[in-house]
Amino acid sequence: SDGMFRGDLISLLYDPGYFPALLDSEGDKNEPRNGGVPQEGNMTKHIDSLRETLYELMPDRKFTGIGVIDFEHWRPIWRENWGILDKYRKYSVSMERNRHPKMNKEELEKKASKRFEAAAKQFMMQTIMFAKKLFPRASWGYYGYPFCFNYKPRNGKLSCTDEVIEDNNRSKWLFKESTALFPSMYLREKNMNTQSNIQYIEGRMKEARRIAVNYNIPIYAYASHKYTDSDTFLSPEDLKNSLLVPKRAGADGVIIWGASKDLSSQEKCSSAYDYLMTVIGPAVKTVLQDTEKNEEEFQGIFNIFGR
C-alpha cells in the first residue's frame, strides 16, 4: 500500500539477517561477513539478526501477504556459483587448502563443495523456516527461484538445461519449505526480440510450474519495467507479454519491480508516471480481461517500482 516495498500486500526483504557473504570494500574485494562462506558462518548470529530485522520491518505479526527473501550473494548449489559468484568457490577451496595442505586440487574442491552445499542448505532453510514461524499466515519464498538460466551465454535455448533441472531437483528441500515461488522474468534488449522474449518467459514459467505442481505452491513471477542491459523502458509489447505470458502459463500473479534510482529526479518521476499511465495501466487492463485464465484467479500486480 502507498507505494511502499513493505506493506500490507507484500514485503520485500533485501539481504535480511546476517548471511555469510564476501563483500566489496576499499582495497579488498573479499571482505568476509559472518565467515564469508556458509560453512564458516555462525547460524546463531544470523538468526538473531534476522529476528531483529523481521520485527523492525514487519511489525504486523498477522501479516497475510507475500514475503520475498531477496538474497543473491551466493547460490546453494556449488556448480551455479559462476561468474562474479565464483569467488565463493575459490574462497572455499582456499579455506580447505589451509586445513589440508597435502590434498590435491580435485580433493580440495570435492571437500569444499560438500561443506559449502551442506551449510548453504542450512542457512537458507533455517531462514525461511524462521520467517514462517514468525509470520505463519504469509506466503514465503526466495527471489529468483527456481533458476533456469535459459537464453544465457551457457544456454542459448528456450528451455532450462538438464543440469539446471537436476540442480532444482536437488533443491527440493528449499521448495518443500517455500510457500510461494518468485522466478525472475527480467528481459534484455540486446540480441532479443518480441518472440525470443516470449520464449524466454515461457521457458522459465515451464520450470516454475513443474516445481509448483509438485509442491502445490503459487507462482508470482518477477517482471521489470526496464530492460536489464539498458536504462530503457520495456516496449509496450514486451511489457504486456511480461504479464500475459506468465498468466497464461499458470502464474498466480506478477510483481513489477523497480529500483529507487528510477525515481531519483523530477524528470525520472515524470517519465515513470507517464509510462505507468500509458503503458503499464493499459497492459494490466488487457491482461486482466484475458479469458485464458479467469481474472479472479490471477492476483495481478502486487508492487510497482518496489524499491
Alpha-carbon gap, residue 294 to 291, rounded angstroms: 6
Please check whether residue 20 lies inside any domain of the structure: yes
Tell me the per-residue pLDDT of 274-295, one tens digit each, with 9 for 90 and over: 999 999 999 999 998 876 555 5
Please check whether residue 303 lies inside any domain of the structure: no
Higher-pLDDT residue of 291 and 33 is 33
Asked if 242 contacts 198 with a C-beta cutoff of 8 angstroms, the reply is: no
Residue 230, classed as helix, strand or coil, is coil
Tell me the per-residue pLDDT of 40-66, one tens digit each, with 9 for 90 and over: 999 999 999 999 999 999 999 999 999
Please check whether residue 302 lies inside any domain of the structure: no
CATH code for position 163? 3.20.20.70
Domain, as residue range, for 16: 10-25+40-74+122-297
Please check whether residue 177 lies inside any domain of the structure: yes
Please check whether residue 196 lies inside any domain of the structure: yes
Q: How many domains does the chain contain in total?
A: 1
Report pTM.
0.91
Does pLDDT of 299 surpass 60? no
Report the C-alpha dihedral over residues 201, 203, 205, 208, rounded to 10 degrees: -140
Does pLDDT of 296 surpass 90? no
Please check whether residue 306 lies inside any domain of the structure: no
Predicted pLDDT at 157: 73
Q: Active-site residue numbers?
A: 72
Please check whether residue 91 lies inside any domain of the structure: no
Please check whether residue 99 lies inside any domain of the structure: no
- Cell digits for 267? 524528470
Predicted pLDDT at 301: 45
